[in-house]
């Protein structure tokens, strides 16, 4: 994972690099989460922008971003993100 200002470059399991804009960090339920906006929205077929929410974990002394498998956990973090940023983003 490489960071440039608010741009984070991550490599997926296929070795492909993808750039994200850092939007927010949310701390809740003794966990920390990052909210990212994919800079390449070409893969998104509809007109809606999507954010990516990942849990921050520590591995060998370094922060790593982990997919959230629990749908309820993801929804709870997304609701908190919406509450915190409702004036900045249109969620309808």
Instruction: Please report the pLDDT score of residue 72 as a whole number.
Output: 96
d(C-alpha 91, C-alpha 13), whole Å: 30
Residue 13 — pLDDT band, cuts 50, 70, 90?
A: confident
Instruction: Please report the pLDDT score of residue 47 as a whole number.
Output: 55
Whether 67 and 19 have beta carbons less than 8 Å apart is answered as no
pLDDT at 2 over 70: no
- What pLDDT digit, counting tens, does each position of 44-86 carry? 555 567 889 999 999 999 999 999 999 999 999 999 999 988 7
> Of 41, 39, 37, which Cα lies nearest the Cα of 52?
37
Mean pLDDT for all residues in the chain: 85
d(C-alpha 66, C-alpha 55), whole Å: 5
Sorted by where each begins, the domain ranges of the chain are 2-85
pTM for this one?
Answer: 0.80
Structure tokens of 37?
């906006």
């Amino acid at each position: 994972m490489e960071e440039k200002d608010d741009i984070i470059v991550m490599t997926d399991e296929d070795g492909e690099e993808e750039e994200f804009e850092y939007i927010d960090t949310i701390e809740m339920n003794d966990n920390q989460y990052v909210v990212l906006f994919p800079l390449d929205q070409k893969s998104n077929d509809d007109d809606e922008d999507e954010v990516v929410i990942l849990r921050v974990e520590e591995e060998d002394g370094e922060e790593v971003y982990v997919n959230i498998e629990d749908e309820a956990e993801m929804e709870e973090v997304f609701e908190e993100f919406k509450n915190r940023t409702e004036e900045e983003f249109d969620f309808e």
